[in-house]
Amino acid sequence: GQQVMQIPQYQHVQEGEDFTTYCNSSTTLSNIQWYKQRPGGHPVFLIQLVKSGEVKKQKRLTFQFGEAKKNSSLHITATQTTDVGTYFCAGRGNQGGKLIFGQGTELSVKP
């Protein structure tokens, strides 16, 4: 069945450094969503990408959807302590149906 793999599992950075998490699917996706979960909190929706090669920005966050629609990335420029948390990608297959979540990347930021 459809699988969504996310790497790395953990990332520790110094405040001000950049951060990237990658999401790869075993099958072509119709769309991908990204969520952020603060420590002790619940996942909160960040963005959705639908088109092949799509790039979207939210302030210091840049989201990309691969040309083949099988991978995606989230890049944070100049991390801040407020970026701490776990970032999840979630993809939906071309046949429709529900989202499949990746394992998440836990980001810690050292001030």
Q: Which residues bind another protein (CB under 8 A)?
A: 6, 9, 30-31, 33, 35, 41-45, 48, 50, 88, 90, 92, 96-104
42/59 with CB nearer another protein: 42
20/48 with CB nearer another protein: 48
Smallest gap from Cβ 22 to another protein, in A, equals 14
19/35 with CB nearer another protein: 35
- The dihedral built from the CA positions of residue 94, 50, 11 and 83, taken in this order, carries a sign that is negative
Smallest gap from Cβ 17 to another protein, in A, equals 24
Q: Which residues contact 35 (CB under 8 A, 6 or more apart)?
A: 43, 44, 45, 46, 87, 88, 89, 90, 101
Residue type, 66: G
5/78 with CB nearer another protein: 5
Smallest gap from Cβ 35 to another protein, in A, equals 8
Smallest gap from Cβ 11 to another protein, in A, equals 14
Buried b (16+ CB within 10 A) or exposed e, 17-43: eebebbbbbeeebebbbbbbeeeeeeb
